[in-house]
Amino acid sequence: MDEAALYDTWVNAWRALGVASPDEALLDELLAAHCEAHRAYHTLQHLGECFALLEAQRDGAQRPAEIALALWFHDAVYDVRRHDNEERSAEWARRAVLEAGAAPDAAERVHALVMATRHDAEPLGADARLLVDIDLAILGAPAERFAEYERQIRIEYAHVPAEVFETRRREILAGFLARDPLYLTAPMRERFEAAARANLKRAIKR
């Protein structure tokens, strides 16, 4: 997704929440965050892939604008040495929605959606399930893209010794493989489940 298309997702999401003039300085800040030098996977590439999937699955969304804003913020804060990235990203999202003048209940929903991307609990609500499925769609990507994703994650954790990284990574991938089903929305499950399981099994074995 090119920069113009990303800009459209930004403007359209805010306008759907009643914000006629979205904050372009905030957009620039988010774009810069996704271009930070330490990122390899959690970049504008991932963000663009997420928005393309949201557009394809829009009919399954109750509040697509709130999902779009949650996607913009879900990796806004990303530091592999910390364990509160989602919390900090969610707080930033809530603050941004409130400061823009949107409804407080929308701010709370966007906050909750970002928090769902911790992937540590069953997501509550149709929009959270769709958001989580979109975030995890990379697991069901074509084999070449999945292999690139795996290389990108390793780059982000380049400071971690190989034996430590490989053990922990295997545990994480096995945790996703153990989910039944892995994808919680029917269209995403039909599209990605089989490929994700094949990718995960191959990665764990390797």
Do 90 and 41 have their domain in common? yes
Do 71 and 33 have their domain in common? yes
Does position 138 have pLDDT exceeding 80, yes or no? yes
Query: How do residues 91-101 score in pLDDT, each as one tens digit?
Result: 999 999 999 99
Phi, psi of 87, deg, nearest 5 = -60, -45
Do 86 and 142 have their domain in common? no
Residue 121: CB atoms within 10 Å = 9
Query: How do residues 31-89 score in pLDDT, each as one tens digit?
Result: 999 999 999 999 999 999 999 999 999 999 999 999 999 999 999 999 999 999 999 99
Residue with tokens 């990284």: 165
Do 35 and 65 have their domain in common? yes
Does position 132 have pLDDT exceeding 90, yes or no? yes
Do 1 and 33 have their domain in common? yes
pLDDT of 57? 96
pLDDT of 114? 98
pLDDT of 64? 98
Q: Which domain holds residue 146?
A: 136-206
* pTM recorded for the entire structure: 0.96
